[in-house]
Each structure stands twice: as structure tokens, then as C-alpha cells.
Amino acid sequence: MMTSGMKTLRTATASVAGLAVLAVTGAAAAAPGSPATPRYAAGSAGVGDSYFPYAGNGGYDVQHYDLDLTYTPPATAPAPLTGALSGTATVTLVPVQDLDAFNLDLRGMTVSGVTVNGKPAGFRQVQDDAARVWELTVTPRPKLKRGRTAEVVVTYSGTTTRPVDIEGALYGWVTTRDGAMVVGEPEGSMTWYPVSDHPTDKATYSFDLTVPEGKAAVANGRPTGQPVTADGWTTWSWDAPDLQASYLTTASVGDFTLTTSASASGVPIIDAVDRDLTATNLVTTTASLGQQSAMLTFFEGLFGAYPFVSYGSIVDDDTVSYALETQTRPVYSRVARESTVAHELAHQWFGNAVSPARWQDIWLNEGWATYASWLWLEERELTTAQEEFEAVMALPKDDPFWQLAIADPGHLGLFADPVYDRGGATLHALRAEVGDEDFYAGAQLWLERYDDSTGTTEDFEAVYEEASGQDLGRFFDIWLRNPVKPSNW
């Protein structure tokens, strides 16, 4: 335990059970279950998601993250494309069991200190890229009692690069020449702050982002006052008071121009567009973002009131093509196209307000966002949902497209085309099966019942059986679980 006057161990590098331990501070804890600690145990190193077993953490529920970050972007080319990030993360959490240790996910950053309720805590870091284990284990003294709110402060820093997810795609704190494009799906937020990085542990957020003068730093929610500049640095402050899954956080930095507007229902719209977009991409982006207010009105008519305090977009000029539904402020790379903007806006209801309880349930995000974009394009008389459905069904039955069961696509199939397009087709077929009235009633019931929370495919099926009064087991098996082209349902 940590007591007054106890010697602090030096930072060390060692190997524990084959994993690289980056730092160890403080005295070793008594073994769980010993006579001195009969009630206390360590929280689990993950929530047990079959796709990402170490993502998220057991033993506590995070209430709020307050992130105070300072970032130096890369120097101009040909300097290395690396930045420097330092931060203090204040994590407010409530233990759901008596804890003598707990984990936070953190990848690639080096921790210099941890306090729990104002007292120094022991900690160690495990980093194993091959096993995809990135954990900061904290041993608080005194130990934490179930139900008593605790404040954990982690000080850390590191060099930022361009990390990739399990499929090799960029995610997390993606360093760009003029700043950073910050996009966390599925578990990349751990690359820039200590976090319980799974959708089942939603929390609120606040941000103080300090960057070189002339740069803009844009996060979720709404700004808190005006940016403050001193000694060549500018601090941008943002508040995100709505519950949010960690993968939906952003703190993007760049040469952005910010504009504000509002929807017909009064939702503030804050857009940040990179000044270095090509002329063609800027024209497309401007036209697409100009439709956001009308899209909000349209989707509110179908799905109910917009669920958060603000909306808007971040459009970066990075060289890759990327789009993510970061909560209240989706991120686009290079260009924002109208159908993609509709897709990411629809995610604010489907994926953000209601998130997947397991990553295998991702079709609930992508299928709905795809189908909603079809509905928007139909509203604009550019195509119809039926035409989009028929285009999917035109794929021959021996096409590999039909060989993926989208209710469980595998960790390497999260972003496969069938998750999106077969997901959208599933919803169109469901609408035909139950009728328009029950289809939209089911959508609204789903959003009401699981708002600020998560749901599974089985939960979704139950909602639609309740809304329609039908047994839909066979329908969902055919569309979601059978790796063949649906024919009769």
C-alpha cells in the first residue's frame, strides 16, 4: 500500500507474463483474497467483447472525462510526420465492486503519474501490439469501495504517429502535417487518453485543447467561451454533456475555418472546414454541409428529436478518404459528399444515441445509417430506397457478398460492404414485412428504450416483434444470420 514517506520505485521496464511493462510505480498490492483483503479484487482487463477482449474495463463505471491536452503538430516536410502530445486526464468513476486495482486502456503514451482521490497511486503499463493488449493498471491506496465516486488523474505524454486498427486502417490520433485527424472506431481512443474503451461504458466529456497559435482544435459538443491565446499558444475549450461512447470522441487539430448556423428546430450547427481543401472538394463539401439543416429536419420527422446539444462537421485535408460519425461532429477527410453526410448524421440516432452492446452488432449502426441515406436521397428525388434495395438484390447468389452473416461479421469484417448494404437491405425488407407504420414505430421505440445506452441484435428483434405483433425470428435469421442470398422470407 501507499503510505506517507514510502519510497517510490523508479520507472522500470520488465516482462510480465510475456507482456511489455512500461512503468511501475509504488508498492505491490496484497494478493486478492488474502486475509488482509478479503473483499477486494481487481477489475477485469476488458469487458469481454469477443472481438476485442481487452477493450473496456471491469469493476467501475466512468461518469466523466476531463481532458487537458497540449499538442505540437509535425514540422513542415520533409520532417517526420510525428507530433508531440501531453495530457492530464481526470476520470470520474464509480466502482461497481470493491477494488484493489483497476485498468484503463492506453496505447502508445507514457504515464508519468497517477493520483486517486488526490493521493499518489501505484501504476504499471502493459503494451503488447501482437496481443492487442494496452493497459494502464492502477493500484489505489486506500482501496476503492463500491458505489463511492472516485477521481483518477493521469498525467502522460508521447509521440503521435498514424496508428492503425485491427484491419490496418488508420484510427485514433492520426497525425497530419497540419495537426491531427482524431477518429476512434472501434477502440482507438486509447491512443490519446486513458479510457474504458468500449461502447458499454458511456460518459460525458470536457476538453481543454492547447495548440500553436493559428491552429484550431475542435471537439465534441459545444464551445465553452472563446479561444484564449497567450505566449504563442491557443486553448480551445469544449463541453460534451451528453453520454457518449469513447470511440465517438474527437479532438481534431488543423487549419480549420469555423462557421455556425442552426437547424429549423434550433440545433446549433458548428462546422470546421480545412482551409487547404482543393477547390473541387471545397465546392462539393460546401454544398453537402449546406444540406445539414434540411437533413436534421427530415430525420427528426422520421426518428424523433435530434438527441444531442449540437451538430456540425469537421472536414480535414488528409490524404486518405475517411468518414466517421464522431458524436455531434462527424469527421470527413478530403471531401464531404451529400450521401455520406446523410449517413453520418443518421448515425447520431443509430450508433451514437443507441450504440452496439457488442462489436458484432455493428450492422445496427451501419445498416441504419445506410438505409437512412437511401431515404434522404429519395426525399431529394435523386433515387429511391426501392431502387437502392434492388441494386443490392441484383448481386448474384454466388457473389461472396452474400457469404457474410452480418449479425456476426467477425472482427475483420466490421466494415465490410455487406454490413452496410445488406444491413440497409434488411431494413427495407423489414419495412415491407411489417408495414410503414410499424416500421417507424419500431425505430422510435428502439431509440426511446435504449437511448444513452447500448443494445444487441436480439434486443432489436424483440423491439420489432413488440411493435409489429409478429414473430420475426425466421425473417431475421434469413437476413442477418444465414450466409446466403435471401430469397423467401
- Phi, psi angles (nearest 5°) of residue 467: -70, -35
- What is the pLDDT at residue 319? 87
Topology of 356-481 in CATH? Neutral Protease; domain 2 (1.10.390)
Domains 1-244 and 255-348 share a fold: no
Please name every residue paired with 293 in a beta bridge, in sequence order, or none if there are none.
none
- What is the pLDDT at residue 368? 98
C-alpha–C-alpha distance, residues 456 and 313, integer Å: 28
Is the pLDDT confidence value at 392 over 70? yes
Neighbours of 367 (CB within 10 A): 27
Share of the chain above pLDDT 70, in %: 92
pLDDT tens by residue, 374-386 = 999 999 999 999 9
Is 255-348 a CATH 3.30.1050.10 domain?
no
Neighbours of 427 (CB within 10 A): 24
The residues spanned by each domain of the chain are 1-244, 255-348, 356-481
From the list 310, 265, 103, the residue with the least C-alpha distance to 111 is: 103
- What is the pLDDT at residue 38? 52
Taking the domain 1-244, which CATH number applies?
Answer: 2.60.40.1730
pLDDT tens by residue, 430-473 = 999 999 999 999 999 999 999 999 999 999 999 999 999 999 99
Range name among 23-37, 234-248, 416-430, 437-451 with the lowest pLDDT average: 23-37
List the grid coordinates of 419.
Answer: 454490413
Average pLDDT over residues 154-182: 97
189, 107 in Cβ contact below 8 A? no
C-alpha–C-alpha distance, residues 447 and 427, integer Å: 15
Q: What is the mean pLDDT of the chain?
A: 93
